[in-house]
Amino acid sequence: MPYVHDTLENLRKSSPAQTEFYQAAEEVLECLRPLFQHSPHYLDHSIIERIVEPERQIMFRICWTDDDGRVQVNKGYRIQFNSALGPYKGGLRFHPSVTSGTIKFLGFEQIFKNALTGLPIGGGKGGSDFDPKGKSDGEIMRFCQAFMSELYRHIGPHTDVPAGDIGVGGREIGYLYGQYKRLTGRYEGVLTGKGLDWGGSIGRKEATGYGAVYFAQNMLEALGKALEGKTCLVSGAGNVAIYTIEKLYEMGAKPVTCSDSRGTLHDARGIDLDLLKELKEVKRASLEAYLEQHPEATYIPAGEYPEGGHAVWRIKADAAFPCATQNELTADDAQALLDNGVYCISEGANMPSTADAVDRFLEAKIAYGPGKAANAGGVATSQLEMAQNSSMEQWPLEKVDEKLKEIMANIHRQCADTAEEFGEPTNLVLGANIAGFRKVADAMIDQGVV
Ligand SMILES: NC(=O)C1=CN([C@@H]2O[C@H](COP(=O)(O)OP(=O)(O)OC[C@H]3O[C@@H](n4cnc5c(N)ncnc54)[C@H](O)[C@@H]3O)[C@@H](O)[C@H]2O)C=CC1
Ligand SMILES: O=C(O)CCC(=O)C(=O)O
State in Å, rounded, how far the first CA of the chain is from the last one.
Answer: 26
Catalytic residues: 125
Pairing, β 56-65 against β 257-260? unpaired
What rounded mean pLDDT belongs to the chain?
97
User: What integer is the mean pLDDT of 153-157?
Assistant: 98
How much distance in Å is there from the Cα of 101 to the middle of ligand 1?
17
Ligand 1 pocket mutation, candidates 240, 265, 281, criterion most atoms within 8 A of CB: 240
Q: Which amino acid is at 341?
A: G
Q: How confident is the model over 280-330, as pLDDT tens digits?
A: 999 999 999 999 999 999 999 998 776 667 899 999 999 999 999 999 999
Which residue puts its alpha carbon closest to atom 32 of ligand 1?
A: 261
Q: pTM for the full model?
A: 0.98
pLDDT of residue 304: 76
Q: Show the domains of the chain with their CATH numbers.
A: 1-53 (no CATH), 56-184 (3.40.50.10860), 205-374 (3.40.50.720)
How much distance in Å is there from the Cα of 124 to the middle of ligand 2?
9
Ligand 2 binding pocket, CB closer than 6 Å: 89-91, 110, 113, 163, 165, 192, 350, 378-379, 382
Q: Is residue 153 over pLDDT 90?
A: yes
Q: How confident is the model over 49-72, as pLDDT tens digits?
A: 999 999 999 999 999 999 999 999
Q: How confident is the model over 98-138, as pLDDT tens digits?
A: 999 999 999 999 999 999 999 999 999 999 999 999 999 99
Residue 91 bridge partners (DSSP) = 163
Contact criterion met (CB below 8 Å) for 385 and 192: yes
Residue 276 binned pLDDT confidence (cut-offs 50, 70, 90)? very high
CA 442/CA 284 separation, integer angstroms: 45
User: What integer is the mean pLDDT of 187-214?
Assistant: 98
Q: Is residue 209 over pLDDT 70?
A: yes
**Looking at this predicted complex, what is its ipTM?**
0.98
Which residue would you say has higher pLDDT here, 2 or 443? 443
CA 31/CA 25 separation, integer angstroms: 10
CA 172/CA 140 separation, integer angstroms: 7
Which residue puts its alpha carbon closest to atom 43 of ligand 1?
A: 375
pLDDT of residue 307: 61
225 is in an annotated binding site: no
